[in-house]
Amino acid sequence: MSLQIRLMREQDIAAVFEVQTQAYVSAMVEAESIFRARLRAAPVTCWVAEDAEVGVCAYLMAYPSSLGKISSLGSDFDPARDADSLYLHDLAVGTAMHGRGVGVQLVEHAQAYARSTGWTTLHLVSVQSTKSFWQKQGFVEVTALSPEQTSALMTYSGPAYYCMKQL
């Protein structure tokens, strides 16, 4: 496996959308237009994993944020001016690369980027039975949520958990 993690480009969107459809239940699939808008809003915090044989096989879309701010499913990115954290909104790995550590590599890449900017935390919403994956990466569930945060979590299909990691 020859894997490269690089910044996402506009021409990657179709492949990213395909990876998303492999990774998520249909109720959680977001439109390509949302991916394009998010990439424009946060171009330096959206990455793809590209395999020499498979091509784009995974992605991570993130944005500068403030701890406690939860993005609703389908919402545009709203990068914080005075960010203290990196919000990992969407990590997906295509079926061809499951179980090969690609997701972990993308998370490590994002973590290194966050540290280089001086941010102190990563945070995210865990969906589709991924909570144990995130816990293995050092994330813990945050259960004390405001009504606004709870409302944002309810936009996701199935159980959703707000999680964070101190850097």
CA distance 27 to 133: 21
Amino acid at 13: I
Instruction: State whether the Cα torsion 9-43-103-128 is positive or negative.
Output: negative
Q: What CATH code is carried by the domain that includes residue 83?
A: 3.40.630.30
**pLDDT (tens digit, 9 = 90+) per residue, 132-156?**
999 999 999 999 999 999 999 999 9
Q: What is the pLDDT of residue 1?
A: 61
**pLDDT (tens digit, 9 = 90+) per residue, 37-96?**
999 999 999 999 999 888 999 999 999 999 999 999 999 999 999 999 999 999 999 999
Q: What is the pLDDT of residue 36?
A: 97
66: Cα separation from own chain's centroid: 15
Name the domain count of the chain. Answer: 1
Give every CB contact of residue 85 below 8 A, 6+ residues apart in sequence: 64, 65, 66, 67, 114, 119, 120, 121, 122, 123, 164
Asked whether the predicted pLDDT for residue 2 surpasses 90, the reply is no
Total-model pTM:
0.95
Q: Tell me the two tokens of residue 164.
A: 């964070």
Range of the domain at 160: 3-166
Q: What DSSP string describes 109-161? A: HHHHHHHHHT--EEEEEE-TT-HHHHHHTT-EE-----HHHHHHHTTSSS--E
